Structure formats: structure tokens, C-alpha cells
Amino acid sequence: MAPDLETLIVERDAGVVTVTMNRPARKNAANGTMWRELLRVFEDAAADRDQRVLVLTGAGDAFCSGADLGEGDNVAGRAGDPYLVQMRALSDVALRLHRMPKPTIAKVGGIAAGAGMSLALGCDLVVASETARFSEIFSRRGLSVDFGSSWLLPRLIGLHRAKELAFFADIIDAHQAAEFGLVNRVVPAAELDSFVGAWARRLAAGPPLALSMTKSMLNNSLAVSMDQALEDEARAQAANFASSDTREALAAFLGKREPRFEGR
């Protein structure tokens, strides 16, 4: 862990930056310090061309149990800030993750609840161990959903199931989450690291520009018309054809070898 980070462990290897929420005694509940550190680390990862994939996970036996409500006036922003200011600081973290210009993977073992569940769903891909559990816990705490859940859930699983999860705040297991469409894969706990590692390496070896534009278009897909989507695709493809990565991909295809993408 970098000496100036109190709540996160950040590791970089072969184009993959792994961010581990590191408050295991609190099941990685996020206090104001963690939210500020997540924002900083997400900004750094977005700007670092050498890091092509971000993996988000939690230390110990949990992913993230949500905001640490036990810290009173330090829920999301800075201690003493009005709650609206703190919640807007929380929103900044959600938006920075959503706008990350490279693929993101949530590696979920144990509980992902409240804003912790939203953190996982805010990633592009979610891989859960068989021991993972998920809950939109907010209503049990007298709260409405936050960290983008009101936007994410209906898009992922439809309005009625979104309301079911949000209203009842039930805890569902990994297989139920997969059935609902909340996660991409459920794997045995012993295989979670290796599975996510393999996916991350495959993405890191992919074409950064093309993947970034594909991510952006898919994220925007429900907000644009078919006409606009086709125009966006045309512009993205024009940028790709002008890139050295596409020329490299064609050369690799003709040479019967794997391409080496540089993001140019």
C-alpha cells in the first residue's frame, strides 16, 4: 500500500491496476477517507496510459459493506460537511468510475451491500465467488438508494426487479445475482483470483482505443437514437482505421501472430 493511502492497496502489474479496499475489520465499509482515496486512485488510473484495466476488490472476506454509517459526520465527504455536500462527493466517485476510459472488473468475494453493491455494479464486468452476497441494504437503514443504484439497477435487470431489490433490501447469493443478471460469472472461491486475472490480462492485451470507444458507446446506448448510435459507430471506426493499432491487428492477422497493441 502506498504510504499516503490509508484505506486502499493499489497494485500495478502488466497493464492491470488492482485496487483493494482495505478495511477488513469493518468489512471494507467506506468512510470519507476511503471515498476520497477512491476518487484519487480512479483519476490516476484513468490518466495512466500504461494501465489498461482496473480491477476493484476488497480485503479479507468482504467486497464492501457500504458506507460506514458508524462514522457519523464523515459518511462520504469531509467531517462536518453538510450531508448534501458529502453525498455530492460520493457522486463524484460514482461518476469517475462510470467514466473510466478503460475496462473495469469488480472481483466480489463476500458481501457487497449498499454503496458497496453499487460500486460492484458500476464496473463493466462483475465476477463473483460462490460465497458472494449482494444487498441493496439502504431501506433497512432508513435510506433511499445511492451511488448510482437508481440508474444502474433498472438498466441491468429491469424496473420491476430493481424495485424488488431496492424495496425489500433482501440479501441474495451469487447464483441469484447471476439469475437476475447482476453478475457476469460465478466461480468457486478458490478460482476467483485466477479467473479475474485471466480476464484482466486478456483485456490488457486488447486494443485500448477500440475498447474505450466501445465502452463509451455501450454506456450511452440507452440515451441515443439508432441514428445517433450509427453515427457514433462510424466516427469511432474512422478513428480506429486511422490508428496504428488497427494496422497492427491487420498485420498480425496476415502474419498469423498475436497483435501487440499500443493504444495509438
What is the band of 14 on the pLDDT scale with cuts at 50, 70, 90?
very high
Residue 127 DSSP code? E
Torsion of CA 42, 48, 54, 60, to 10 degrees: -70
pLDDT in tens, 149-169: 999 999 999 999 999 999 999
Tell me the average pLDDT across 167-178: 98
CA-to-CA separations, 143 to 72, 146, 185, in angstroms, rounded: 14, 9, 30
pLDDT band at 2 (very low <50, low <70, confident <90, very high): low
Q: How would residue 80 be classed by pLDDT, with cut points 50, 70 and 90? A: confident
Single pTM value for the model: 0.94
Q: Which helix (H) or strand (E) holds 32?
A: helix 32-47
**pLDDT exceeds cutoff 60 at 205:** yes
**Tens digit of pLDDT for each residue in 30-78?**
999 999 999 999 999 999 999 999 999 999 999 999 998 876 666 676 6
Rounded mean pLDDT of 220-237?
Answer: 96
Q: How far apart are CA 45 and CA 52, in angstroms?
A: 8
Average pLDDT of the residues of the chain:
94
Sole residue written with cell 482505421:
241
What's the pLDDT tens digit per position in 84-136? 888 899 999 999 999 999 999 999 999 999 999 999 999 999 999 999 999 99
Residues 6+ apart with CB under 8 A from 103: 52, 53, 54, 124, 125, 203, 211, 215
